[in-house]
Structure 1
């Protein structure tokens, strides 16, 4: 938004643009354009190479590899991608019956990355969901970096060195690398710079001081913004929410700093935003209603903001996923997928230094205030320092009772500090590059030194067992029809979702009971992860845990029959390599009668 202000001399466009103006011969302008394209292509290839290097552990066989730090969520997202791909097979419903049979799962209430799944459905249907997951794990990092690079070089007019450093921080900063541990909905941020650009474009069009308001430009910006926001809803709503809050804080700050611009542009800008919101609601209004109020919808928060709060010390600690990070830092957060705040003291000092050196430019003030606000919100309702709960209230406590916000994960507000800090870095390096004094070399060197400790190491991966031949060989079709319900033993749970890989390997051709998902199965319809077990699945889970074969009587057999009817199950399957397989097989034969061996599984038709 701040780019609406007249461009400062130190925010000049690219060098090639300054050398070749519209009065140059057409071949000169073409040569300059080709030169810029080659340089930009080199940056894109560099980001792609970096993303590939970070995620190379998933290759060359993604089906046999997993994110070692968060394998359960990878199973979940591969299932999401497989069920999303069914749109190409004519399955367009937002409620799927392929999990949690018979009630199903609300896809909008889960982070199902629908837009990404549909976009890459041909890959999923031909090569498998693990390949799609591996592609997205790297592509989200590179795509986010490229999108910010284009925003920095085009609307902001920064030089390539400055833009490249800032874009690298946006795409490969500690929080982004950490979230790559199976949180595809959080790393798919490549639409955020597009949204920012469209808001800036709308503000420029609304400013009469720039020859406006330009109503045609206002309308086209509103339409584009509505399209980008609508798409982001189906990629990751949490990223959209964080973007909205950040832009709101920036807008208020900018209006306070530049009151003349606010007075001039506010009427037309507000009108454009109303049009954008109205158009977006036409697209996402019903899906959002379905998410909160539809079947298996969730209207309450799931995660405790007290648990998912950032430790104050984590801000000046280096991420364990960087090349110089320490393992002891892991105790300052909830897990390896949430190193959102670990920027390290060098970058914090350099960011503040850049802001002070740049002075009171509206964009600088807006970025600094927003970064401080988002960083403060990340600390949660009560301040935590070095693992100790102090009882001191944090700013997030003011939002504790606000619907939607009350279910947010405070520590993820820290993710937006990356692009805010990156913008300050870009402005500082770009200004230094335009100068002729010592700052020309000193500022880029200091910024580079601050970024160097954040250089990420390749993400840890490990092997995982293959999907049973009973599934991969298509033998499952002998006991369950397509669209029917197969009961794996033991059934999938949020803690142990591995049987969901069976369905994923078949492009979710059959359903399963229970499983790993978000649904309204708590008290009074409160949100939960997974659902309560039926008596038979609870019995089988106990056998799978301890290996002790229970006494089975007539009551247990009748209950097993009732549970199979409840699930509308066609078949129960137990693979031979399941832990305590003999005890489980004996229990199942007591419940359902003799088994039939097919490939590497025993089955019971129920």
Structure 2
């Protein structure tokens, strides 16, 4: 089999690749209708599960982890728009974590999404842009897989529609969406990257295929490097499996494949040279991760359970089986866990694509279990192969639970191939076999319904956005902030209180603030940490925000707070008094700096200069 198709493609959909006539005008019309219908259907489904966000565009946000990541990504999107309009370097910013700044290439800043959507951010604000991108992440990923499946792997478009829907709406993808992880949920490029990798084996097209693949890789870096790494792992397993299964065919195409791969690597390295230099050698670079990735693994029992955002799931069924709500990547339930290997067995003899997918599913399933295999929260005292693999960079910085996300498109492919076998027009059969074929179709379709219905996503949980004071939306802050100084939000922004980031993102990044929620280097430069390096004033306000209690303020506390304000070059301290524990925060700041001023709907303290 040759042509521009995925390894192991044995369907007849890509007729042009085999030298057969392409579709007729009527066929192209039907295909376009299916494509548009698929896009509309996926978008409608994505809107349905995020509906609370759309009924109150600026008043609701995703609730996972208190909305911290939602606020973070809104700030990322605002930064992208600000870098475009101000002609500043998008790879770095000092609007937060002043005076040190943040290396945006070292964070999940989704520049590849935020920069193109700058007009929307400027017109409607980052809250609206985020919601649009959330829909695009879910529906766009589903449609991209549908497109590749329908063109290159199956002949039945309904089967491709099913496979695409699974790839976009599977529990793991919904979990990443719930966590506002746009860099993980937005995978519309992944099926095209894998497809272009497989096309590298075409003779005589090494340069063209390599350039296209290199451009796709480059763009994916600016959406999410971790997804690109997972895609590379997947392609490696698929290619090695193909070589093992069909060594003669693989040997026949090694020259164009390696040539095209070299061209792709060259194109990507040239285009990414400066961004990658900035990420690893630029200001505010860091080493390692601010957490131990070994703590993030897939519990074996989670595969047969249901996620809290699934129809048959709940918090009670999911608690204890995943690190948190944003990493419920493996919750498929018993019916699907049984159906997938059975489908692989049914397709094994006739479909190389199914064999390759089945092998890759087994590999990544085992690796996702981490170094020590846990079953229902209990240590099985068995070590998984990840214990050895994670000793090799870059596996040492990879969370094994994220490897389970690779299973989603592989299972989606198996489901599409299985449905294609069920629903495609069969070859002529003797009359006595027709009832058997009809029964097989009915039972197979019923099995798909039983396996997939329980994991259909529910409406995503939302919460209220932080207050957005008129003091900021009206621009009044400009009249009170001395030139060249910063605003210190109370509390200083961290993952548990992102009010300041919310204010900043929705004022077109008009001022600078200390604190924030991102990854930056530790004070010694040898490690990584979430949020800014703690200082006395930020620690005090964080404690008051968490407990609602004001500690005894001493003269040493006042002196330390003044030192912090000088370090941050502060001009104003601003508090929205109606926020959670606002009265306690106001009392603490009054003890430190004296009575505040009331300006519109905030209270503020002016910082004396000199």
Task: State the TM-score, normalizing by the size of structure 1.
Answer: 0.91
Contact 2:9 2:352 (C-alpha < 8 Å) held by counterparts? no
1:414-457: CA deviation from partner (whole Å, max 9, x where unpaired): 11101111112222222332425344444333223322222111
> 2:418 corresponds to which residue?
428
> 2:182 corresponds to which residue?
184
1:282-293 matches, cutoff 5 A: 282-293=270-281
Contact 2:372 2:380 (C-alpha < 8 Å) held by counterparts? yes
1:381-530 matches, cutoff 5 A: 381-432=371-422, 433-435=424-426, 437-438=437-438, 439-480=440-481, 484-521=485-522, 524-530=525-531
Query: Once structures 1 and 2 are overlaid, which stretch shifts more, 279-288 or 463-472?
Result: 463-472
| Residue 518 of structure 1, CA deviation | 0.7
1:114-129 matches, cutoff 5 A: 114-129=111-126
5+ long unaligned stretches in structure 1: 206-212
| Residue 4 of structure 1, CA deviation | 5.5
Contact 1:300 1:407 (C-alpha < 8 Å) held by counterparts? yes
| Residue 469 of structure 1, CA deviation | 1.9
Q: 1:69 to 1:562 in 2, by over 3 A?
A: closer
Distance of 1:151 and 1:74 partners within structure 2 = 30
| Residue 584 of structure 1, CA deviation | 3.7
Query: Once structures 1 and 2 are overlaid, which stretch shifts more, 50-59 or 351-360?
Result: 351-360
> 1:368 corresponds to which residue?
358
Task: State the TM-score, normalizing by the size of structure 2.
Answer: 0.91
Query: Which of 144, 151, 161 is matched with 1:154 structurally?
Result: 151
Secondary structure, counterpart of 1:62 in structure 2: coil
> 1:232 corresponds to which residue?
220
Secondary structure, counterpart of 1:486 in structure 2: strand
> 1:13 corresponds to which residue?
13
CA-based RMSD of the aligned residues comes to 2.4
> 2:77 corresponds to which residue?
81
Distance of 1:350 and 1:584 partners within structure 2 = 55
Distance of 2:6 and 2:266 partners within structure 1 = 24
Q: 1:126 to 1:482 in 2, by over 3 A?
A: farther
Distance of 2:313 and 2:229 partners within structure 1 = 30
Distance of 1:14 and 1:440 partners within structure 2 = 25
Contact 1:351 1:424 (C-alpha < 8 Å) held by counterparts? yes
Distance of 2:590 and 2:30 partners within structure 1 = 72
Q: 1:88 to 1:364 in 2, by over 3 A?
A: same
Contact 1:170 1:422 (C-alpha < 8 Å) held by counterparts? yes
Query: Which of 26, 34, 37 is matched with 2:32 structurally?
Result: 37
Q: 1:410 to 1:303 in 2, by over 3 A?
A: farther
Distance of 1:156 and 1:582 partners within structure 2 = 61
Distance of 1:472 and 1:176 partners within structure 2 = 34
> 2:601 corresponds to which residue?
600
> 1:242 corresponds to which residue?
230
Contact 1:2 1:254 (C-alpha < 8 Å) held by counterparts? no
Q: 1:573 to 1:4 in 2, by over 3 A?
A: closer
Secondary structure, counterpart of 2:37 in structure 1: helix
Query: Once structures 1 and 2 are overlaid, which stretch shifts more, 523-532 or 363-372?
Result: 523-532
Q: 1:604 to 1:376 in 2, by over 3 A?
A: same
Secondary structure, counterpart of 1:570 in structure 2: strand
Q: 1:579 to 1:428 in 2, by over 3 A?
A: closer
1:281-323: CA deviation from partner (whole Å, max 9, x where unpaired): 1111221222222211122133323321110011111222111
Q: 1:561 to 1:6 in 2, by over 3 A?
A: closer
> 2:340 corresponds to which residue?
351
| Residue 586 of structure 1, CA deviation | 4.6
Query: Once structures 1 and 2 are overlaid, which stretch shifts more, 435-444 or 255-264?
Result: 435-444
Query: Once structures 1 and 2 are overlaid, which stretch shifts more, 350-359 or 182-191?
Result: 350-359
Q: 1:355 to 1:59 in 2, by over 3 A?
A: same
Q: 1:345 to 1:483 in 2, by over 3 A?
A: farther
Query: Once structures 1 and 2 are overlaid, which stretch shifts more, 492-501 or 509-518?
Result: 492-501
1:72-101: CA deviation from partner (whole Å, max 9, x where unpaired): 111111111111111221223311001111
Distance of 2:346 and 2:248 partners within structure 1 = 24
Q: 1:582 to 1:332 in 2, by over 3 A?
A: closer
Distance of 2:8 and 2:561 partners within structure 1 = 73
Secondary structure, counterpart of 1:348 in structure 2: helix
Query: Once structures 1 and 2 are overlaid, which stretch shifts more, 186-195 or 153-162?
Result: 153-162
Q: 1:96 to 1:482 in 2, by over 3 A?
A: farther
Secondary structure, counterpart of 2:572 in structure 1: strand
| Residue 373 of structure 1, CA deviation | 1.0
Q: 1:365 to 1:513 in 2, by over 3 A?
A: same
Q: 1:585 to 1:453 in 2, by over 3 A?
A: closer
Say whether 1:198 aligns with 2:202.
no
Instruction: Report how many aligned residue pairs link the two structures.
Output: 587
Query: Which of 273, 278, 285 is matched with 1:297 structurally?
Result: 285
| Residue 471 of structure 1, CA deviation | 1.5
Contact 1:367 1:423 (C-alpha < 8 Å) held by counterparts? yes
Distance of 2:419 and 2:317 partners within structure 1 = 33
Distance of 1:315 and 1:4 partners within structure 2 = 28
Distance of 2:525 and 2:563 partners within structure 1 = 25
| Residue 526 of structure 1, CA deviation | 0.8
Secondary structure, counterpart of 1:572 in structure 2: strand
Contact 1:544 1:584 (C-alpha < 8 Å) held by counterparts? yes
1:191-235: CA deviation from partner (whole Å, max 9, x where unpaired): 0011012112222x1xxxxxxx22xx3211111111111111000
Distance of 1:483 and 1:237 partners within structure 2 = 35
Distance of 1:86 and 1:269 partners within structure 2 = 41
Q: 1:358 to 1:543 in 2, by over 3 A?
A: closer
| Residue 498 of structure 1, CA deviation | 2.8
